[in-house]
Structure 1
Amino acid sequence: MFIHLGENVVVPIDEIIAILDGQLYHSSTIVQEFIYGQRKSKEIIEISTTMKTIVVTIHDIYFSPLASMTLKKRANQLFDPVVNID
């Protein structure tokens, strides 16, 4: 299964390691150091000019314009199918 991160970018859900709120990048030196250190081994993909969420995958790191809660809801919907009885 895949999850849509914004624009035309989708990634396999089983490759996602972490979904971090983008505010952490600006407020946490640990997250900044992590991203800086990962630039050596992973590609940083800025999906748009607005970054609300950092999505860490096995191969890349994405700066997504979608809110972390939106991505969490999308991921949960993939694993929790809703039974609709009319």
Structure 2
Amino acid sequence: MFLHLGRNVSVRVADVVSIHDIRLFAAPGAPGCDLLQRQRAAGSVIDAAREKQTKSLIITEKNIYLSAISPMTLMRRARQAYQYVRGNDA
């Protein structure tokens, strides 16, 4: 199952490590600011929000994604996809 992040960008639910509010990473001095800056410099940040306001940051093993979709909505979608897959395994 895939998690749609906006602007035709999707990731596999199984590849998602964590979903965060962008405020933890965007403001100078924020806990994750250095991580986001290092990953941007390395070319590992994919901006699915583009010109819209970024609301969430999604970490996978390979990349960091920025999305205009709220972290709560993304977590709900990921949970539904996971439950759908688990339900089909039973």
TM-score normalized by structure 1? Answer: 0.80
Query: Which ranges in structure 2 are unaligned for 5 or more consecutive residues?
Result: 85-90
- Count of matched residue positions in the alignment of Structure 1 and Structure 2: 82
RMSD over aligned CA atoms reads: 1.9
**Is 1:21 the counterpart of 2:24 in the alignment?**
no
* Structure-2 change in CA distance of 1:54 and 1:21 (3 Å): same
Structure 1 runs of 4+ aligned residues shifted over 6 Å read: none
Q: Please list the CA deviations of residues 24-76 of structure 1 after superposition, one character each: whole Å capped at 9, or x if unmatched.
A: 22345221011123335551111122210001111111110100000011011
What is the match of residue 9 of structure 1? 9
Query: Which ranges in structure 1 are unaligned for 5 or more consecutive residues?
Result: 82-86
Which structure carries more helix by proportion?
A: 2
* Structure-2 change in CA distance of 1:42 and 1:17 (3 Å): farther
